[in-house]
Amino acid sequence: MKRIFVAVSVDPAENLKETYHKFRTWFKTDRISWVDEEHMHITLKFIGDTPADRIPGIHHALTRVASAHQAFQASITGAGVFGSTYKPRVLWLGVEDGGNRMAALGRDITGALEEAGIPDDRQNFVPHLTLGRIKYLRQRRKLDEKVAKMQQKHLQDITVGAFHLIESVLGQEGPEYTILHSYPLKSSGQTREKVSGLPWWKNLLRRLGL
């Protein structure tokens, strides 16, 4: 079994690194599992434990999605928290692009993988870059204040020219990541192929208004 996910890699610039280390300093007495700055990424789809013989089908589905999307620009802007005010779970930075192309890429990946037999987890896809997973937080009010001050702060522009199928192996020092396959997106001069982001039966129901 391989624990796998699909993601866009992010090479953090100095401004992003500075923000990351500020959050680590502000909450160094709290129990937060921080993402390694050398392995920052934007998860497009978490697949989870998967038998090795399913990988070729997943690879084929992702190749088809990549052929239908062009490279695009996005920005790392703002911050947020998943979970409730009383029990925050994940601290993240926001991802924005003018045409919601990251969200469209995520939807197409989810739909193609569902056709390949990977269940949809039914969660709304919110493009984000995880900074840390919160185990226990004593300074909840301080976190709210720091996140609020970051709402509109632009941290970094990125070019999304590819996404990757990545294996995660959990170890004592944190997860170790291995890229299994990479999927370059089309350059702006190439013709975009159409691919459905939903299985055929969902598209049929949508057309019928059901």
What pLDDT was estimated at residue 190? 52
Task: Tell me the residue type at 179.
Answer: I
Single-letter amino acid code for the residue at 125: F
Q: Where are the beta strands (DSSP E) in the chain?
A: 2-9, 31-34, 41-50, 72-83, 88-96, 128-136, 154-160, 162-171, 174-184
168-197 burial, b at 16+ Cβ within 10 Å, e below that, comes to beeeeeeeebeeebebebbeeeeeeeebeb
What pLDDT, on a 0 to 100 scale, did the predictor assign at position 156?
97
Domains of the chain: which residue ranges? 2-207
Return the closest-CA partner of residue 37 out of 21, 15, 52.
21
Euclidean distance between CA atoms 159 and 154, whole angstroms: 15
Q: How far apart are CA 50 and CA 141, in angstroms?
A: 39
Mean pLDDT (the chain, rounded): 89
Q: Which helix (H) or strand (E) holds 103?
A: helix 101-115
pLDDT tens digits, 66-76: 999 999 999 99
Evaluate if residue 196 carries a pLDDT over 60. Answer: no
Question: How far is Cα 147 from Cα 93, in angstroms, rounded to an integer?
Answer: 9
CA distance 204 to 194: 16
Task: Say whether 181 is catalytic.
Answer: no
Tokens 């291995």 sit on residue: 178
Catalytic site residue 21?
Answer: no
The first and second tokens of residue 109, run together, are 């990946």
pLDDT in tens, 5-16: 999 999 999 999
Of the residues 39, 128, 164, 181, only one is catalytic, namely 128
d(CA 67, CA 168) in angstroms, rounded, equals: 25
pLDDT in tens, 99-153: 899 999 999 999 999 999 998 877 788 899 999 999 999 999 999 999 999 988 9
CATH dotted code for 2-207:
3.90.1140.10
Of the candidates 21, 41, 154, 164, the residue annotated as catalytic is 41
